[in-house]
Amino acid sequence: MTKYDNYKKNVLEATLWLSEHGYFGSHRGTGGNVSVRIDEECMAITPSSVSYQELSVDDIFALAFDLSVIEGNGKLTPSVESGMHSIIYQRRLDVNVVVHTHQIYGSVFSLINEPIPALFDEVSFSLGHIVEIIPYALSGSSELANNVAGKLSNNANAYIIQNHGILSLGKNLDKALLNAELLDKVAQIYCLALSTGKTIHTLPDSTIEMIMAVRNYEVNDAQGKKKVKK
Ligand SMILES: [Zn+2]
């Protein structure tokens, strides 16, 4: 038992839930990864290329934000997307959990390269006023991590990675999983709505302004609190 075990357990629990509910795009594949912030310098994250059903707590890595291994199974390597997770924690102090999935409906928008606008207030207050597209770069590359970093300042909790998949962020495990679910819901409905060919009505500007204000407040509040702590 180490001081990292609870964080590792949270990563494992979230990973199994996402896998069982089809968020990785297949039940046997390993398409996606999950991390939990430990503190201002490190995170717990899934290993690379291990079937999620076979994972145990000891297989989850404790990894510094410079990607050096603090603790982990020596026979495994940390997720190839560790750089992407790390840069999110460093840029967004409000984020304590990062969920990267290959969920089906969200991934549709990664192919048509189309952001999801503000459609339902209940969804957008959590996800942000727009679910933006992060430009494509090869999976696991530092270019992809930099492309992600380039979009984080809109303070959203969900992004679509072009020709790849989804990022859902949250201040805790529950919120990050909920955001993955909300994204799935809104992507399904937006897909169906687009297929009718009829006009799609987005939320009014006054509501969008409220959503942006709430998201900005939550992010700035966390930045302020963590800076004071230091
Ligand atoms: Zn991926």
pLDDT confidence tier of residue 29, bands split at 50, 70 and 90? low
> Mean pLDDT over all residues of the chain?
94
Are 73 and 135 in contact, with CB atoms under 8 Å apart? no
Of residues 96 and 31, the one with the higher pLDDT is 96
- Each domain of the chain, given as residue ranges in start order, spans 5-229
Tens digits of per-residue pLDDT, 107-119?
Answer: 999 999 999 999 9
Ligand 1 center to 157 CA (angstroms): 17
- CA-CA distance, 186 to 205, in Å (whole number)? 19
Tens digits of per-residue pLDDT, 71-96?
Answer: 999 999 999 999 999 999 999 999 99
Tens digits of per-residue pLDDT, 97-149?
Answer: 999 999 999 999 999 999 999 999 999 999 999 999 999 999 999 999 999 99
- Beta strands (DSSP E) in the chain are 32-37, 42-45, 61-64, 69-71, 97-101, 132-134, 158-161, 165-170
Question: What is the token pair recorded at 134?
Answer: 């992060």
Q: What is the pLDDT of residue 65?
A: 98
- CA-CA distance, 87 to 152, in Å (whole number)? 10
Residues designated catalytic: 81
Tens digits of per-residue pLDDT, 43-55?
Answer: 999 999 888 888 9
- For domain 5-229, the CATH architecture is 3-Layer(aba) Sandwich (3.40)
Ligand 1 center to 134 CA (angstroms): 13
Question: What is the token pair recorded at 25?
Answer: 């795009």
- CA-CA distance, 7 to 11, in Å (whole number)? 6
Are 7 and 71 in contact, with CB atoms under 8 Å apart? no
Q: What is the pLDDT of residue 124?
A: 97
pLDDT confidence tier of residue 201, bands split at 50, 70 and 90? very high
Ligand 1 center to 204 CA (angstroms): 33
Q: What is the pTM of this model?
A: 0.94
Are 90 and 104 in contact, with CB atoms under 8 Å apart? no
Question: What is the token pair recorded at 67?
Answer: 């990607």
Question: What is the token pair recorded at 219?
Answer: 């992010």
Over pLDDT 70: what percentage of the chain?
Answer: 97
How large is the average pLDDT for residues 212-225? Answer: 92
Residue 160: phi, psi to the nearest 5?
A: -115, 125
Ligand 1 center to 100 CA (angstroms): 6
Ligand 1 center to 76 CA (angstroms): 18
